């Protein structure tokens, strides 16, 4: 489908995601381009009910236009106290034109209006271990599904990744994007936005999915 020395188009206009893809694929000699580097690709409405549905829809739509293999991902945040929301609506949780700041603000608003006591119980556990801890509002996970689609034969590779964590009451960190500043990783005692790109790729949902996809490509 793709091999060392080739160029792969990733169906995203998210600069943060594109950077992570470039970091991963350069390790096997594949150059990554994103949708800012090609013309004639319309915005694709994400109408799927699952991350896998949306990733396949984006990959196939762009691949059919260009006649080339295309990689797409759909990923998001699933918060237990919100019954799995924002889920597939993560990128547009606060509206179709919402930015990261607006989405994060809505997430905190929804959680703070519904969650009481969870933060205190988490704080109590940390204090028993004499480890300073921020207030947490709910357990949560980041989920990522990647689909690499080849229009020449209709074949596809699918890889998934998940990382467990908690939602912070207040944002921490200035790196990353999306909900990273609100996503707390207990094992590292840091938010996702406090990690370097290398550290993030080593443990993140997208990093896990990418490693699994690379294994499939190299078989």
C-alpha to C-alpha distance for 53 and 67, rounded to whole angstroms: 20
For CA atoms 89, 208, 10, 180, the dihedral sign is: positive
Q: Known catalytic residues?
A: 74
Residue 199 assigned to a binding site: no
Residue 15 assigned to a binding site: yes
C-alpha to C-alpha distance for 87 and 129, rounded to whole angstroms: 33
Question: Per-residue pLDDT for the chain (219 aa), expressed as one digit of tens each?
Answer: 777 778 899 999 888 888 888 888 888 889 999 999 988 898 888 899 999 999 999 999 999 999 999 999 999 999 999 999 999 999 999 998 889 999 999 999 999 888 765 554 454 444 444 445 688 999 999 999 999 999 999 999 999 999 999 999 999 999 888 999 999 999 999 999 999 988 988 898 998 999 999 889 877
Residue 13 assigned to a binding site: yes
Q: Residues 180, 173: contact at Cβ < 8 Å?
A: yes
**Who contacts 124 (Cβ-Cβ below 8 Å, separation ≥6)?**
none
Residue 74 assigned to a binding site: yes
C-alpha to C-alpha distance for 112 and 126, rounded to whole angstroms: 21
C-alpha to C-alpha distance for 33 and 179, rounded to whole angstroms: 24
- Structural class in CATH, domain 7-217: alpha beta
Residue 183 assigned to a binding site: no
- pLDDT recorded at residue 116: 62
Residue 141 assigned to a binding site: no
Residue 153 assigned to a binding site: no
C-alpha to C-alpha distance for 120 and 126, rounded to whole angstroms: 10
Structure token pair of residue 44: 């694709």
- pLDDT recorded at residue 108: 95
3-state secondary structure of 58: helix
3-state secondary structure of 47: coil
User: 119, exposed or middle or buried, with CB in 10 Å at 0-12, 13-18, 19+?
Assistant: buried
Q: How far apart are the first and last CA of the chain?
A: 11
- Sole residue written with tokens 């912070």: 168
């Amino acid at each position: 489908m793709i091999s060392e020395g080739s160029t792969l188009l990733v169906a995203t206009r998210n600069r943060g995601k594109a950077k992570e893809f470039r970091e991963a694929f350069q390790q096997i000699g594949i150059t990554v381009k994103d949708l800012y580097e090609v013309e004639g690709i319309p915005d694709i409405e994400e109408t799927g009910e699952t991350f896998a549905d949306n990733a396949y829809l984006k990959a196939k739509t762009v691949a059919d236009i260009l006649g080339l293999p295309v990689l797409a991902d759909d990923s998001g945040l699933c918060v237990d106290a919100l019954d799995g929301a924002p889920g597939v609506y993560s990128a547009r949780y606060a509206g179709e034109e919402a930015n990261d700041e607006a989405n994060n603000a809505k997430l905190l608003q929804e959680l703070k209006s519904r969650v009481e006591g969870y933060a205190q119980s988490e704080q109590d556990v940390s204090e028993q271990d004499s480890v300073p801890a921020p207030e947490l509002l709910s357990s949560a996970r980041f989920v990522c599904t990647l689909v690499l689609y080849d229009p020449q034969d209709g074949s596809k590779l699918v890889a998934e990744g998940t990382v467990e964590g908690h939602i912070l009451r207040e944002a921490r960190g200035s790196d990353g994007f999306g909900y990273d500043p609100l996503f707390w990783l207990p094992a590292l005692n840091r938010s996702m936005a406090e990690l370097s790109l290398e550290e993030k790729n080593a443990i993140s949902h997208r990093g896990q999915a990418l490693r699994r996809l690379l294994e499939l490509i190299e078989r």
